[in-house]
Amino acid sequence: MNNIHLDDFEAVIFDLDGSLVDSMWMWKAIDIEYLKKHGIEAPDTLQKDIGGRSFIETAEYFKERFGIEDSIEQIGDDWNRMAWDKYTNEVPLKEGVFEFLGLCDDKNIKLGIASSNSTELIEQVLASHGIKGRFGSVKSGTEILKGKPAPDVYLAVADELGAEPSKCLVFEDLVDGIRAGKNAGMTVVAVSDDYSRHSDDLKKELADCYIEDYRGFLI
């Protein structure tokens, strides 16, 4: 684990999509479907263009770039409805996550979520896997206006958990998220994900450690 030991940390903070749950695959499909309903073809660079933005920032981007007449709130509500069923029935935990959470509990390590997603969807996916009550702090992209790579969401979670940033271990799958954790002064583990496979070299360069899944921490 590149000399990373859980006993050195007060808290573990997870990004959600692509880091804790295997869900990045579905957002591209939702974006394409959403824009199609508005008579717009999704550009090939869309996922790269919105990477790291908070939920509200992404809605603002869609409204401005594509001329969506709906309010920011309506755009968010539409996305929540489209994603709800997928999160409930099609999105699995990353390999080894459930056991890793148990290991953290055994070591009395505080747990938090720092996600760009909406509060409603975060709560839904955690509840669907029976882990909603495991996290002492959950911050979303609807609460934190300044998205990743800004450190705001990670610092907010650490503050609520009562943990020093230098004693927080972050798990992130995207470059902007890794930068957010590092900008917060935290140790960052890059998580493998098919969606961001093209940026693996940069992820490994920026993060303190890179994992294919969580099973390596269970040895």
Which class for 151: exposed (0-12), middle (13-18), buried (19 or more C-beta within 10 A)?
buried
Q: 142, 56 in Cβ contact below 8 A?
A: yes
DSSP category for residue 132: G
pTM for the model stands at: 0.84
Check the CA dihedral 23-200-216-141 and report its sign: negative
Tokens representing 62 are 């869609």
Over the stretch 47-69, which tens digit does the pLDDT of each residue have? 888 877 888 889 999 999 999 99
- CB neighbour class for 165 (10 Å; exposed up to 12, middle 13-18, buried from 19): buried
pLDDT digits (tens, 9 = 90+) for 123-154: 999 999 999 999 999 999 878 768 899 999 99
Are the beta carbons of 203 and 210 closer than 8 angstroms? yes
